[in-house]
Amino acid sequence: MSLFSSIRMAVNTLQANEVALQVVGQNIANANTPGYIREEVLFSPAPTQRNGKLLMGLGVQVDAIVQKIDKFLEERLRGSISDRVDAETREAAYMQLEGLIGELSDTDLSTSLNNFFNTIHEILNQSGGVSARNLTVLQGNTLTTDLNRLADRAMKIRSDLNDHIFDMAADINRLTEAIRVLNVRITQIEGGNVSASDAVGLRDQRLMALENLAKLVEIRVKEQESGAVIVYSGSQFLVFEGEARQVEVVLDSDRGLSVANIHMANTDAPLDTASGELRGLLDSRDQIIGGFLDRLDNFAHTLAFEFNKAFSQGQGLNGFQDLTSEFAVDQVDAALNEAGLKFMPVNGSFQVIVHNKQTGDTEWADVVVDLNGLDSDMTLENLADALDDVDGISATTTSGRKLRITTDSPELEFFFHGDTSGVLAVLGLNTFFTGSTALDIGVNAVLKADPSKFAASLVTADGDFTQNTANAEVLAALQDRRIASQNNETLNVLYDRMIGETTQAASIAGAVAEGARVFEQTLRGQKMATSGVSLDEEAVNMIAFQRSFQASAKYIATLTELFEILVEI
Amino acid sequence: MANIVGIPTTRVSDLFMRQRLTNQIQMDQLDAFRVQMQLSTGRRIQVPSEDSNAAMRIIDLQRLLERKGQVRSNLSTNQSYLLATDSALSSVSGSLAEIRAVAMGVVGEIATDAQRTAASQQVQQMIRQLQDIANQKFRGRYLFAGTSTTVMPFGETDKGGYVQYFGNEGKVSSYSDIDLLFETNLHGGEVFGAISEKVLGAKDLDPILTYNTRLADLRSGAGITRGSIEISVAGNRSTIDITSAETIGDVAAMIRANPPAGKTLDVEIAPTGLVVTLHGDPGDTLAIREVGGGTTADELGILTRIGVGTTVVGEDLDPILRLTTRIGDVLGTRSYAPVRSYGSDNDLIFEAPTVGAAYDGIEILFEDDGSVALPGDETASYDPATNTLTVKIKSHQTEARHVVSAVETAFLAGNVPITARLDPLDSPNGGRGVIAATPVGQIEGQTAGGSGTAFDADAGIQIVNGGETHVITFTGAETIEDLLNVLNMSDAGLTARINGSATGIDIRSRISGVDFMIGENGGQTATQLGLRTFTETTRLEDLNFGRGVATRDGTDFTITIAGTPAGPPPVPIEIDVSGLETVGEVIDLINAQAPGELVARLATYGNGIELVDQSTGTDTLTVSRVQLGRAAIDLGLVPEGQESYSAAAPLLVTSTTTKSNLIFTADNPGAEVAGVRVVFEDTGTGNVTYDPTAKTLTFGITTAPPAAATTAADIIAWLEASPAGAEFSAELDPADTDSDGSGNVEDTDPFAPPLLGDEGGTEASATVVFSGTDNDLVFRAKSALPAQVGTEIQFNGVAAFGPPTFAYAGPGNPLIITYDSDGTTAQEIVDGLAADAGPAGANFSAALDPTDGSPNLGTGTVDVQTSTPMAGGSRFLKGADVNRQETEGIFTALLRLKTALMNNDLGEIERSIALLDDRTDKMNFARAELGVRQQGLDITQVRLDNEEIDLKESLSRDFDVDMIQAISDFTARQISFEASLRTAAQLLSITLLNYL
């Protein structure tokens, strides 16, 4: 023990306090840096020195500068971020959808639907007039245009979501690459846990990268002894220490859209993530918007088919002279229920009425639509032959695999009646709506050109089939008629369910997103409680280290005085 | 309301504090903004997800309001129609009462003709006025046209100025609530009685079951419940689901395709029901049961009781009549025989071309005698002697379709009497399965099951409407709809349709003010269709427009018949119709008086009771009233105002020269042509004139010089060439030996020219015209009895047949002549019939028609055909139709009243006034109903108003913001926001550094 060694000890103390002050400075400097983890300097007493019988302390030494971090909390926070971004993505999708539907306003689809059916009431009010029928055709056009527009816009949202997913692969790859590089550098700098100190800045950057990655996909992070982290998503590695696995976009076709899905580049397995923005976007695209489009299509499909089925039973003020079916079959010699039609006909029959406008003479004919599955079932060709056998009309299949029926002379016209097979609606003969989805539903061009063909009449006991409005009575009430193929629900209920499911799900998505936000905020609060910089706390530390430094300096001054005394002796 | 985020319990970092404060401020702003939005829009929620439950309620309420809005519009529009209808009718009742008073004022002896004429003009004026009202249009809709709202409903007929209705009886409906339809019109029928009551339609035409008969049309239209049935044989079961079946053919095919394991089922669609036959092991029995308490098997008529054996014969499925029902499929069943062969795609059905039992019992054979070299060369022939149809085939190579083709060809050539077709249940590839020859001593099948009588399309019906007689025939009609088309398209002013229970046909008249009747035209067509207005079931009390038949105590009238030659004068037959209820009972009573001599029946042409005198004496058939009893008049047997009515003797116009006697007959039956006088006047003009009013048929003959004198043949030719030829014909008297018409005719006695009877007294006769010359034949009954009247003569040609054969099975059956289609001449027919020892030869004779060829050599060949029924008959007396129908409406009442006033016909005036009263009551009833409807709509309107208020209130509760709440919320938010800002500012400014 000597004065020199005491001075030496005091210098160590000064240096330790300098280090501590630098850490305080670092913390103060990054007090407002997002993602910054508060650092702490760790002191320990210097080793003991034997001097004769005495064992003497050698002052203080700086053990390490470490980050104040709760790794378990970080993992939970990343999870909550994934959940929050997932929920917020869905919430945003629903918000757009709700805006699109515009329900509760006076211009929504339900109003359009009601207006359409209301115009059929006007046909009843003005029986015999063409103007009311024309109004129904026009309102039908508005309804179908609204459906088309809604479907088109929903598809646009779906397409935008898809583009977003397409771009996401590059973001994931960029982040995993950054994490891989940081892994390498942290390992190099920290020397594989040789150093007690953390590669703080790099770790901060890595934490930030992980957090950003968690926004995109749900990840689990495991830190190795080397300081490197392994990142999983589901059962797949994204980063394994110094190695990053790339993802790539795989294109597929779904509901008329070339959809992008993200797969692992090396295994071609889909990137399996339960939350995060990717999950949110995928679900928004496929389930929220896609599901809505499915329901909208089902609604449009049901509306078109059920309305057409009822409509095709009726007769207009004028009959047809040249009529081509709306829908084509895949093969003219295939049974009609296996010919790739959008709707399905069943075993049944219908009647054709050929009417001579000059003489008033009528010719009725039964057409049996044999689809009983036992013998040779009816094909489009057979149907054409059966119709061709009816006096006064000719029927052929066209090169476009449709059915064309024409009268044999200009004074003849034909009508249909009593179709139990649904084949008229299926083929689009004497129908109101064309198309089978929300996107392609429209009003039959034949009716647009001649609204008097609106089939408001039904054959009466008197044999009248053009002068009454009995079919309009049926059509006007169709909104409330139970539909067997839709679990006996009505068109109104179907519509309410479509809107209700969207609304309910949107409401839930909003609540889930809010919950996720709160949870994340709570976890962030907890994280900041551990890792955040408090300037007041740093000020206290700074004063403490300053005082310690001042005391050590005073101690050196005292020892220096002792040296001077000794020198002066 | 912003969410509350937990605050860490340990330490607070600066960044945390700043972020939290920022968040807090944002949340406060957001909340304030939300309330501000509520305040500015007045709506509690902006998008449905803000309160999804309320949003769904809102959507529902909005929809209800939108739809109720339309209902209100429906109500106001249609109330205006009802109001217009009401106001149109409001003046009618008063005017009708006025007319009634006017009519009553001029009845009787005191009023002058001028007064009655004036009254009748007033009635005419009223008819015009009413027609204007009935044709009123409101908002583009004819108010009384039914659903034909664009057609003017009432117009005058071209002839006679009667009123015809062109509208229908449709009801125009609209919704007075979301699911409540109400009628918005009164049609011409219910207000003015513009369409007559239905004419019968009660006759069940009873269509047969075919492969394509729809299940919905079975059981009188009740249909078949689509369920499942279970078939079990010896413990093996199969369940057959017929849910998807549309036709009985589908059901049969499904049963056939799903037999219990190891068994085979044959299913036959018989004319009335299904026949299921089991091919199983010996001892197997067939059981058909319901599945799960269903009723399908029972409804299909094949539910088995215990111990049915191997065949289940289904019950009658009673299909309804439809427009597309074929006329050949009604009024009976066709004989048929299913012929099944081993394997598939080769079952055949042999079937008669028409209904009836005549074709039963034909045996069918497939014979391979080596004559068929290749499949496709098959031939079919028929042997009437053995009643066997033989198809020559090449065994195991001939396919079913070849058999069909061969039989079809032979049938069309007239060589075989029946046709063949593929069994639709076993023809998946169009009959390409092969056929084997019938083993010796066996047959393939035998036709059976024929019943009923084929529809008589050619005779047609007579309809009298609007004062005109329309003869409507249905030749060429194939379906019920063709038949309806003929009726509806005729200018008889009719509406014909399938009746309400879809078993037959209804006919109604659209013309007001005239008599309307439907009768026969020499055949049974009207009766077959159930359309005859005067039948044996017609009640006497309904006759004469409900006046009935007035009877007196004791004998009502007498009938005198010809009696026996050289016998004592016949005693008049006394008829007392008291206590009788129907026309049939009257006929039966008359027929019971002198069996074999006096026959009463319904008229063969038109309507009424016909008396036929078969006795051979010389007295004239006469009906005489007894002590002014009206029964004979009311039954139509004596004209109004006459004491008796006699059938004239056959009109034989004789002259002193030979070969000049002529027999005149009226071509059309009816009282109009009875009593017509034939007058030969020596004017030398050669003219033939017929004056229906004076009832004279006058010929301008030349009597000198003898070379230029008119002959009987001239008379026949003149008559045929003149318009009167459409009404009358003349023929040479066969009793005038070897008459060729070369004898001259003479002037008739100007004071007593011969009178024409109702029908000639000659034997029934029919002329059969063949193509070509020298072959037309005149067939005549050998007796003048009425039994042969209406007999058809059928020619069946069979190749290589030899001399013709004749078959006649008695009255009501055709005379069937089977001849060699390769060349039987007319003369051979004449000779063959004369030589025939059977009933045909005994009852009929044939002669060459002298008008065919010059002369008819009888060398032309005959061909397949069926003649028109034999006309003519013995002397008879045809009564008038006393069951005339009319359209019981206001226009009829007024038109009848107008005529009755002019004729001063008291009875008719009374009847017209009663009818007018009745229709006025009915119209007032319709008006009252209109009032009730309007009242109902008023109530609905009030209910709708209240409902709308309730709905809007409910909507407001969910959708509109509570302003007080929102404003106080906003104030609270504002205070909270201010506090938040203040505390944040203070917190951020306080730090330890300030104190260093």
For residue B255, the surrounding DSSP H or E stretch is helix B248-257
Q: Compare all CA atoms of chain B with the CA of A369 and give the residue at the minimum distance.
A: B246
Of B133, B132, B152, B131, nearest to B141 (Cα)? Answer: B152
CB contact under 8 A, B323 and A463: yes
**At a CB cut-off of 8 Å and minimum separation 6, what does A169 contact?**
A247, A248, A249, A260, A262
Q: Which residues of chain B have pLDDT under 50?
A: 1, 649-650, 668-671, 750-762, 784-786, 868-874
Give the model's pLDDT for residue B762: 45
- In the DSSP assignment, the letter for residue B152 is -
**At a CB cut-off of 8 Å and minimum separation 6, what does B165 contact?**
B153, B154, B188, B189, B192, B194, B195, B510, B511, B512
Give the model's pLDDT for residue B457: 84
Of A328, A166, A151, nearest to A260 (Cα)? Answer: A166
Q: Are B277 and B313 in contact (CB under 8 A)?
A: no
Average pLDDT over residues A220-225: 90
B502 contact residues in A (CB cutoff 8 A): none
Maximal CA-CA distance, chain A: 152
B488 contact residues in A (CB cutoff 8 A): 360, 463
Residue written as token pair 């010809």: B562
Interface test with A, best of B174, B212, B217 (most A CBs within 10 A): B174
Give the model's pLDDT for residue B671: 45
pLDDT one-digit tens code per residue, A26-36: 999 998 888 88
And the tokens for B101? 């008073």
A361 contact residues in B (CB cutoff 8 A): 485, 489
Give the model's pLDDT for residue A353: 94
Give the CA distances from residue B184 to residues A60, B147, B149, in Å, rounded to whole numbers and listed in that order. Answer: 108, 10, 12
Restricting to A residues 499-518, those with a Cβ less than 8 Å away from any Cβ of B are 499-500, 502-504, 506-507, 509-510, 514, 517-518
Q: Are A148 and A433 in contact (CB under 8 A)?
A: no
Q: Are A477 and A469 in contact (CB under 8 A)?
A: no
Q: Are B209 and B217 in contact (CB under 8 A)?
A: no
DSSP string computed for A530-557: HHS--HHHHHHHHHHHHHHHHHHHHHHH
Give the model's pLDDT for residue B871: 38
- On whether any CB of chain A is under 8 Å from the CB of B478, the answer is no
Distance between CA atoms of B268 and B312, rounded to whole angstroms? 10
Query: Distance, in angstroms, between A513 CA and closest chain B CA?
Result: 12
Give the CA distances from residue B889 to residues B99, B247, B542, B894, B927, in Å, rounded to whole numbers and listed in that order. Answer: 15, 43, 18, 9, 16
Q: Which amino acid is at B162?
A: Y
Give the CA distances from residue B921 to residues A181, B169, B890, B915, in Å, rounded to whole numbers and listed in that order. Answer: 105, 19, 10, 10
Interface test with B, best of A363, A368, A462 (most B CBs within 10 A): A462
Average pLDDT over residues A402-429: 94
CB contact under 8 A, A506 and B47: yes
Of A393, A354, A385, nearest to A369 (Cα)? Answer: A385
And the tokens for B397? 């190579």
pLDDT one-digit tens code per residue, A357-396: 988 888 899 999 999 888 778 999 999 999 999 999 999 9
Query: Distance, in angstroms, between B503 CA and closest chain A CA?
Result: 13
Distance between CA atoms of B23 and A528, rounded to whole angstroms? 15
- On whether any CB of chain B is under 8 Å from the CB of A524, the answer is yes
And the tokens for B839? 């009933």
B82 contact residues in A (CB cutoff 8 A): none
And the tokens for B9? 């319990």
Alpha-carbon dihedral sign for residues A51, A55, A60, A65: positive
Q: Compare all CA atoms of chain A with the CA of B326 and give the residue at the minimum distance.
A: A365
**At a CB cut-off of 8 Å and minimum separation 6, what does B802 contact?**
B820
Across B450-592, the runs of DSSP E, i.e. the strands, are 451-452, 461-465, 468-472, 494-498, 505-509, 511-512, 516-521, 557-560, 573-575
**At a CB cut-off of 8 Å and minimum separation 6, what does B726 contact?**
B667
A114 → closest Cβ in B56, B66, B175: B66
Q: Are B462 and B606 in contact (CB under 8 A)?
A: yes
B11 → closest Cβ in A462, A503, A529: A529
Chain center to CA of A16: 56
First to last CA, chain B: 41
Give the model's pLDDT for residue A93: 94
ipTM score here?
A: 0.84
Across B127-179, the runs of DSSP E, i.e. the strands, are 137-138, 141-142, 154-156, 163-165, 173-177
Q: Return mean pLDDT, chain A.
A: 91
- Residues A363, A463, B517, CA angle at the centre, nearest 5°? 100
Q: Which amino acid is at A418?
A: G
And the tokens for A99? 């805006």
B91-96 contacts at long range (C-beta below 8 A, 24 or more positions apart) = B91/B133, B92/B130, B92/B133, B92/B923, B93/B920, B93/B923, B93/B924, B93/B927, B95/B126, B95/B129, B95/B130, B96/B126, B96/B890, B96/B916, B96/B920
Categorize the per-residue pLDDT at A163 as very low, low, confident or very high, splitting at 50, 70 and 90: very high
Categorize the per-residue pLDDT at A350 as very low, low, confident or very high, splitting at 50, 70 and 90: very high
For residue A125, the surrounding DSSP H or E stretch is helix A109-125
Across B787-836, the runs of DSSP E, i.e. the strands, are 793-798, 805-808, 815-820
A99 contact residues in B (CB cutoff 8 A): 47
Restricting to B residues 52-81, those with a Cβ less than 8 Å away from any Cβ of A are 52, 55-56, 58-60, 62-63, 66-67, 69-71, 73-74, 77-78
Q: Compare all CA atoms of chain A with the CA of B424 and give the residue at the minimum distance.
A: A375
A31 → closest Cβ in B14, B428, B485: B14
Give the model's pLDDT for residue B870: 45
Interface test with B, best of A90, A123, A374 (most B CBs within 10 A): A374
And the tokens for B96? 């009708």
Percent of chain A beyond pLDDT 70?
A: 99
How many other C-beta atoms can be found within 10 angstroms of the C-beta atom of residue B113? 10
Across B45-94, the runs of DSSP E, i.e. the strands, are none
Distance between CA atoms of A112 and A144, rounded to whole angstroms? 9
Pairing of strands B793-798, B815-820: parallel
pLDDT higher than threshold 80 for residue A55: yes
Of B352, B409, B347, nearest to B377 (Cα)? Answer: B409
Q: Are B712 and B743 in contact (CB under 8 A)?
A: yes
pLDDT one-digit tens code per residue, A76-134: 999 999 999 999 999 999 999 988 888 888 788 889 999 999 999 999 988 767 889 99
Burial of A481 from C-beta contacts in 10 A (0-12 / 13-18 / 19+): middle
Query: Distance, in angstroms, between B538 CA and closest chain A CA?
Result: 26
What is the three-class DSSP state of B598? Answer: strand
Query: Distance, in angstroms, between A198 CA and closest chain B CA?
Result: 21
B174 → closest Cβ in A98, A121, A510: A121
Cis omega (within 30 of 0) for bond into B723? no
- In the DSSP assignment, the letter for residue A286 is I
- The structure's pTM equals 0.80
A124 contact residues in B (CB cutoff 8 A): 74, 172-175
Distance between CA atoms of B839 and B576, rounded to whole angstroms? 38
- On whether any CB of chain A is under 8 Å from the CB of B253, the answer is yes
Residue written as token pair 């009747």: B517
**At a CB cut-off of 8 Å and minimum separation 6, what does B592 contact?**
none
Give the model's pLDDT for residue B3: 66
Q: Are A322 and A414 in contact (CB under 8 A)?
A: no
Distance between CA atoms of A306 and A493, rounded to whole angstroms? 14
Chain center to CA of A10: 66
